[in-house]
Chain A
C-alpha cells in the first residue's frame, strides 16, 4: 500500500490508525493528540488542583509508565503545579516484581520523580510468596488484590498524599463494566465507571486519567516515545493472560474498534440510572464535573498487573465463581469479600429469577463508611477486607513463625 499522509499535518507519513475514529496520524501528531486528550480528561473532570501532591501508582508496566510520562509532560506544559511521586507496591513475589521494580527505579530517574516502594511484608507481615505457600495458588489473587488496594492508600498516607492516580485505561474500564454486567452487579458497575473513586476528603482519593485512552494507543504511545517499560505476567496467575472479558473486548475491538469507548459510555449511562450512585462521564458534556463519592471496593481485581487494574485475574475468578457455583461453600471467604455484605443475593446464574434480581438491586444496603476495628483503615464492615483475610492467614501460620 502506498504511504498515507498524516490527517493532521498532511506532510508526514501516517504510522498510526486510531481505533476510535480510524484517523491516520504520523508519530508526532499522534503523540500530541494523545497528550491533548488526556489533558482534556483531566481538565474537564477537574481531577487536580494546583499544588496538589499526587502519587502515581507505578508498576513498571506500560499503563503506569505512560501515565507517569504523560503527567510529567502535561504538568510542565500546562503548569498544573502538581507534585508528582511514584508509588510502587512490592507484593513479595520473587522473579516477578523484582524486574519490574527495577524498571520503576529507572523511571524515577528518567522522570525525576521521587519513588516510594511499599512492601506487603512491612504492611501485612506476609509476602505473596508466603501467602501462596500457606493457601496454595487457588484464590491467591483475591488476597493480592485486596492487599494491593490498601497498600497504595497506605503508601500514599505514609507520604502525606491524598490522591493516587492509576493507569487504568478504557479497555480496563470496559472490561470491568462487562464483568459487572455479566454478574448483574449494577452498583459495582456504576462505581467502576467513575473517573474518581475513594471516599470523603479525609481519605485517599483515586482517579484514572487514562480512563478514555485505548490500550492500543497506550502501547503505541509507549512505543513511539520509546518509553522504558516492563511486561510480564504474574507467575501465580497464568490464567490471567486468557481472561475471558479481555478476550471478548479485544475481539469486539477487532470487529468494531469504537466498541470499547461505546461500552465505557454505556456503562456511564447505566450508572446514572443506579439510585444513589452518582457517576460521571467526560465533564465536557455540559455539566459540572462531579466528584462522585463511591466507596472503592474493586479490591478483588488485578492480578497479573501491578496497580490493581481489573485484569484477567478478576475475570478468571468470576468465571470460577460462575462455573463452580455449587462449590461456593468451599470458597466462602472469597465470595464474602467479593459480594461484600449482600450474602444471599448473589446475582449469578443460579439465582434464576429475574424479578429477584430487579428487586434486590435497590434493596442493596447502602455502603456506610466506618473504620476497621483492627487497623483503622476505612471499611464498611467491622473488619476491613485485608484484616479479614489476614485473620484467616494468621490462623494457618505455623506456630513456629508466631
Chain B
C-alpha cells in the first residue's frame, strides 16, 4: 500500500482536502494563438494543456475561466493588457472554438469540453 492510497482512504478532513487537490479532474485541450498573440505565449502557436475541469467553486470550466488560467499559468509575457482588458478578453481578439466563432457558442460562458480546440486570433496587428 502506498502512502497515496492510505491517504485516499483516510477519514480526517485534512486528508480529504489533500485528495481533492490531488485528484482534481482535468480536461485536455489545445489552445492556439495567432495574429501576433504568439509573442505573449513564448512565441509558440500551439499549446496542449491539461486544465482543471471545474473552477474553485466546482463549476465547469468556461472560456472565462480559461482566459484567467492562461494569464496565470501560460503567459510568460508581463504585458497582460495586450490579452485582457478589465477582466475580459481584449476587444479585437477573435476566439474560435472548434473553428466556430465564440459568439455562436456563448462567448465567455461556453463550457469547455475535453478535446476542444480553442484559437485566439488577434486582429490588432498590422497587415
Contacts and interface: CB of A to CB of B under 8 A. Distances in A.
B24 interface: no
Contact of A1 (B34, B90, B106, B122): B106
B121 A64 contact: no
B125 A63 contact: no
A250 B82 CA distance: 13
B13 interface: no
A16 B121 CA distance: 14
Given A220-B94, A231-B122, A232-B36, A61 B104 contact: no
A311 B119 CA distance: 24
Contacts of B119: 223
A12 B99 CA distance: 13
Nearest to B121: A219
A242 B125 CA distance: 10
A231 B91 contact: no
Given A232-B36, A250-B92, A17 B104 contact: yes
Given A216-B94, A219-B121, A241-B82, A15 B100 contact: yes
Given A15-B99, A15-B104, A61 B91 contact: no
A223 to B, nearest CB: 7
Interface in A219-263: 219-220, 223-224, 229, 231-234, 240-242, 246-247, 250-251, 253-254
A105 interface: no
A216 B104 contact: no
B4 interface: no
Given A14-B104, A17-B103, A63 B92 contact: no
Contact of B123 (A27, A215, A232, A242): A215
Nearest to B89: A254
A300 B75 CA distance: 34
Interface string A287-320: 0000000000000000011110101100000000
Q: Which of the listed residues B90, B91, B110, B125 has the most CB atoms from chain A within 10 Å of its own CB?
A: B125
A167 B127 CA distance: 7
B105 interface: yes
A304 B126 contact: yes
Contact of B127 (A1, A64, A247): A64
B125 A16 contact: no
A218 interface: yes
Q: Which of the listed residues A65, A229, A241 has the most CB atoms from chain B within 10 Å of its own CB?
A: A241
A24 interface: yes
A344 B57 CA distance: 62
Interface in B30-71: 34-36, 39
A14 B100 contact: yes
A231 B34 contact: yes
Given A233-B39, A241-B124, A247-B91, 17 more contacts: A1-B105, A59-B127, A61-B126, A61-B127, A62-B35, A167-B127, A171-B123, A218-B127, A220-B101, A231-B34, A231-B125, A233-B36, A240-B126, A305-B126, A305-B127, A311-B126, A312-B124
Q: What 10 pairs across the A-B complex have the smallest Cβ distances? A: A305-B126, A63-B127, A61-B127, A250-B92, A250-B91, A231-B36, A62-B127, A231-B125, A254-B91, A304-B126
